[in-house]
Amino acid sequence: MSVMDGLQQKLQHQLECIYKDIDIDQSINQLVSRLIEIMRISEFSQVPEPFVNHWSEKDTIMITYGDSILQQGERPLTTLAQFIDSYVGCINSVHILPFFPYSSDDGFAVIDYSSVNESLGDWADISAIASKRRLMSDLVINHCSSRSLWFENFCKGEGPGHDYFFTAQPKDDLSEVVRPRTSTLLRPTETPTGTQHVWCTFSHDQVDFDFRNPQVLIEFVTIIRQYLDAGVSIFRFDAVAFLWKIVGSKSINLVQTHEIIRLLRTLIEHAQNDAMIITETNIPNTQNLTYFGNANEAHCIYNFSLPPLLINTLITSNCLYLKRWLMSMPPAQDGTTYFNFIASHDGIGLRPAEGLLDDDEIQTLVDTMKDFGGKISARTTETGEQKPYEINIALYDALQGTTKGKDLWGMQRFMCAHSIMLALEGIPGIYIHSLLGTRNDYEKLANTSHNRAINRHRWELDELKQQLGDAQSTHSQVLSAMTKLINIRTQQAAFHPSATQFTLHLGLQLFGFWRQSRNRKQSIFCISNVSDQVTDLPINELNLVISEHWVDLLSETKIEDITQTIQLQPYQTVWISNKG
């Protein structure tokens, strides 16, 4: 069977699964041919090998807005590129959050998917960054701006977009719909045929697409091709869990959503073998894991449970819940891996902690973050109850103390969190404000009245340079310490994202796990004191091989006696390896 025959058969099956209950204007065969044409796949295209890992221990992704750093008279994307080259050479990949024209939600209400926001730069700036580092871009696939041309055409009832949006009726049974916002689901909109009620999962400025119309799929495949041409090689599918809607259902995680992801992976991989998909599905952990499929959906899934569990561990000095979760996480099969992070442009999601932390633990976490200046965003449950959905706070502030209050261990606690995250199975993602130790931005919060603004600071480059040039500055110390950690990590084969991982049992104050390289030559025991007390680590409990030479990679201290007990200072981490 030829490349094209196999691809056509696969796409036909996937499209039949998606549209099996829907009458569409064109045949499945026509749609298959159109998608292949858009992606420019031919007989000469390379067939993607299954279960191939497109990552290594060298990979770390920095998450940033295009305008997180500003220099007067210079395009922000140019400034960002210069900052990356000058200060974070240890990072080989960058996720630039939506860099398109937008109307709200700091980029996630896209007006035009085919353009770069003029206030940031242009496609040449995007491609310049992609020429030096792997570039990750958002595909805001669930919704677009109500100010987009497509939605304007919907309101006029003619032109591209007039039939791109999902509508329902107020009388419909929408009681089971799961969504992360408290606003009303339906937006009344006047059209030539009367009032239409447009589905809005997030806000009334973010109008949801109707993928029952194949033309919407065609539009997004066209967008994907354009992004590949610009140098994007990692696609973050934003809010993809909500993609397919069925009135009377929860309208989340539906089978058609999973099939669309599989279809897009098929197309992307045939167009560019090493391109990747990361699904952004901020949902309970068991549901999140389903987005791996059988190594045929997302290459990576966000480890959304990690931030609340890790922060809970460090403010309570108790790793019980974190350890239970880690033990329950299945090793990702080849061709898939986890995307680990503990801070992002959004807040600390609490839904992924549901079922992992009990209500009292979550409330304690919420109360502690409030004490450290954080804000709490809520969602409406199926029963109409208001429930904490997200904590909005800068990570450096989140770790300034424990449930007992603020203390003097903030820096150590902050670095402990990253020492754990960087060592875990998966690819690490680090928010630019974690690299810089940025604090809560109360001025931006007050100016915007949006809780998430507290962790979306914009640095003036000259001020940032001054801070980073001062060895006594917290920002300088954080960047230096983070750079050292990342550089050590990238040299360890045992930290390959797909290397073996086992959880250690060392009590509640010591959180530990063991990593082994894929060739079994290197082992690293990653152990952190998650408390504010000096804690003993009995080395003999690790069962180190006596014939090997062991060293803590972080302190460069040799382990001369594997029967000894060493003392870990508050929030100290050791990476004990036989390949120092």
379 labelled ligand-binding: no
154 and 272 assigned to the same domain: no
313 and 415 assigned to the same domain: yes
Per-residue pLDDT of the chain (580 residues; tens, 9 = 90+): 677 889 999 999 999 999 998 888 789 999 999 999 999 999 888 889 999 999 999 999 999 999 999 999 999 999 999 999 999 999 999 999 999 999 999 999 999 999 999 999 999 999 999 999 999 999 999 999 999 999 999 999 999 999 999 999 999 999 999 988 888 999 999 999 999 999 999 999 999 999 999 999 999 999 999 999 999 999 999 999 999 999 999 999 999 999 999 999 999 999 999 999 999 998 888 999 999 999 999 999 999 999 999 999 999 999 999 999 999 999 999 999 999 999 999 999 998 998 999 999 999 999 999 999 999 998 877 677 788 989 999 999 999 999 999 999 999 999 999 999 999 999 999 999 999 999 999 999 999 999 999 999 999 999 999 999 999 999 999 999 999 999 999 999 999 999 999 999 999 999 999 999 999 999 999 999 999 999 999 999 998 988 899 999 999 999 989 889 999 999 999 999 998 6
**507 three-state secondary structure:** coil
Assign residue 459 the CATH number of its domain. 3.20.20.80
Q: Which residues are CB-contacts of 106 (< 8 A; sequence separation ≥ 6)?
A: 65, 97, 98, 345, 452, 453, 456
Which residue's structure tokens are 């509640």?
508
- Residue 509 and residue 537: Cα distance in Å, rounded? 10
| Residues 370-382 pLDDT 10s | 999 999 998 877 6
Q: Is residue 28 part of a domain?
A: no
CA-CA-CA-CA torsion sign (392, 396, 399, 405): negative
407 and 367 assigned to the same domain: yes
Q: Is residue 16 part of a domain?
A: no
221 and 204 assigned to the same domain: no
Distances 513 to 53, 133, 322, 574 between C-alpha atoms, Å: 22, 30, 11, 11
Catalytic residues: 238
Bridge partners, residue 460, by sequence: 70
The edge-to-edge listing of strands for the beta sheet with 186-191 is 167-168, 194-199, 186-191
536 labelled ligand-binding: no
209 labelled ligand-binding: no
**Residue 155 CB neighbour total at 10 angstroms:** 17
| Structural domain boundaries, residue 198 | 143-208
150 and 267 assigned to the same domain: no
307 and 242 assigned to the same domain: yes
**Residue 89 CB neighbour total at 10 angstroms:** 13
269 and 251 assigned to the same domain: yes
417 and 450 assigned to the same domain: yes
| CA geometry: angle 557, 563, 566, nearest 5 deg | 45
102 and 218 assigned to the same domain: yes
Q: Give the pTM.
A: 0.96
Q: Is residue 268 part of a domain?
A: yes
Structural element, H or E, at residue 375: strand 375-380
What pLDDT does residue 72 have?
96
Tokens representing 281 are 């599905």
Q: What's the structural domain count of the chain?
A: 3
What pLDDT does residue 21 have?
84
443 and 323 assigned to the same domain: yes
Q: Is residue 520 part of a domain?
A: yes
Bridge partners, residue 528, by sequence: 511, 573
* Tally: H helices and E strands in the chain: 17, 28
272 and 169 assigned to the same domain: no
143 labelled ligand-binding: yes
Bridge partners, residue 379, by sequence: 387
**Backbone angle region of 107, left / alpha / beta, with phi > 0 → left and psi within -120 to 50 → alpha:** left
Half-sphere exposure of 55 (CA within 13 A, CB side): 29
What pLDDT does residue 23 have?
86
**Last residue within a domain, chosen from 190, 208, 226:** 208
What pLDDT does residue 1 have?
60
**Last residue within a domain, chosen from 208, 223, 242:** 208
- Residue 90 and residue 77: Cα distance in Å, rounded? 19
Q: Is residue 35 part of a domain?
A: no
**Backbone angle region of 17, left / alpha / beta, with phi > 0 → left and psi within -120 to 50 → alpha:** alpha
527 and 485 assigned to the same domain: no
236 labelled ligand-binding: yes
133 labelled ligand-binding: no
138 labelled ligand-binding: no
What pLDDT does residue 238 have?
97
105 labelled ligand-binding: yes
Q: Decide: 300 and 54 in contact? Cβ < 8 Å.
A: no
| Residues 422-447 pLDDT 10s | 999 999 999 999 999 999 999 999 99
Assign residue 149 the CATH number of its domain. 3.90.400.10
**Last residue within a domain, chosen from 495, 513, 530:** 495
Q: Is residue 356 part of a domain?
A: yes
Assign residue 567 the CATH number of its domain. 2.60.40.1180
Tokens representing 125 are 């700036």
